[in-house]
Chains A and B, each alone.
Chain A
């Protein structure tokens, strides 16, 4: 059972926008940056966002991240069928001294 909370699923039509939330208590998101990963079935996770709002090179600007207080958000604009995947947030939990990851959100393109 994760200490971070994400919606199990979100969906939208191609070209639309989806927002995935990630919430946690102060010892987690409130104290540290958030990272986001994209995972396709049977494939290793891929870093999409680090330090809450930074994109690694090669990640399209359709993917954006933000953080406010004890919540973080991943926005995907201009949704494409290739964006159908599971998305996980992660952050450092200072109370556990551990990196914690959310339960994941499945994005479906209608």
Chain B
């Protein structure tokens, strides 16, 4: 069974750093793209970027480039989303999801359960 299991909810202060994780199982982790999606409460999801764990090819949405870092560890079948300096506006639910593709034809067939990140002083 394909599963993406994300790390637990986080409460942070502005300016702090954070790294959240997404562990894949039940499939060959190296050969699917893992994407990250932000969803602010009451709003639609926003695609942040994606990584291909097989060669660490990483692509970012222009809206998020420079704001976050996406990485993956093949040895543990885990993808990460990282911030160096959080802002209150980063408060949101973050989902990881799996895709066969990057670019044309992209769609996400399996999703993690989400990680709620709250940034507040």
Q: A residues engaging B (CB < 8 A)?
A: 2, 31-33, 35, 37, 39, 44-47, 50-51, 56, 88, 90, 92, 94, 96-104
Number of interface residues of B (CB under 8 A): 25
Taking CB atoms, residues of chain A closer than 8 Å to B105 are: 32-33, 51, 92
Given contacts A44-B112, A44-B113, are A103 and B44 in contact (CB under 8 A)?
yes
Q: Is the interface of B mostly helix, strand, loop or mixed?
A: loop
Q: For A2, give the chain B residue with the smallest CB separation.
A: B44
Determine the residue in chain B with the shortest Cβ distance to A89.
Answer: B44
* Residue among A31, A47, A51 with the highest chain B CB neighbour number at 10 A: A47
Please give, as numbers and ranges, the residues of chain A lying within 8 Å of B111 by CB-CB distance: 44-46
Name the residue of chain B whose CB is nearest to the CB of A50.
Answer: B107
Interfacial chain A residues near B63, Cβ < 8 Å? 98
> Given B45, B50, B103, which contacts A101 in the complex, CB threshold below 8 Å?
B45
Pairwise interchain contact A47-B108, C-beta atoms closer than 8 A: yes
- How distant is the Cα of A104 from the Cα of B63 in the complex, in angstroms? 19
Residues of A within 8 A of B26 (CB): none
